[in-house]
Amino acid sequence: ACVRNNSNRAAISHLHRQLYGRLYPVLLVNTDGSTVRLRYSEPKRILMMPLDSNTLPEAERKARLRRHFPSKPKAKEEETFEGIDLDTYKKFWKK
């Protein structure tokens, strides 16, 4: 009934902490593509700044909105069993 935990647990999943004890080096990517190395409170590789949609041209902004919020899928027709001959599948039924 004894379970031994080892250091491999942290390698499989993330650390279960609310606060981290130190600052970690992170690469910050700005909206124009420039990068800055800084120290961040959580261990991450890359942080990306959100793009300001007010500075984009109208066509590109609408294209981004369409990608983020796609239209609802159209309803498909339900299959009907009228064209199926049930006698061909009679051998699979239990008696």
pLDDT in tens, 13-70: 666 667 667 889 999 998 888 999 998 888 889 988 888 888 889 998 899 889 888 8
Each residue of 69-89: pLDDT tens digit?
Answer: 888 888 888 877 777 787 888
- In DSSP notation, 29-63 reads E-TTS-EEEEEESS--SEEEPPP-GGGS-HHHHHH
Please indicate, yes or no, whether the overall pTM of this predicted structure exceeds 0.85: no
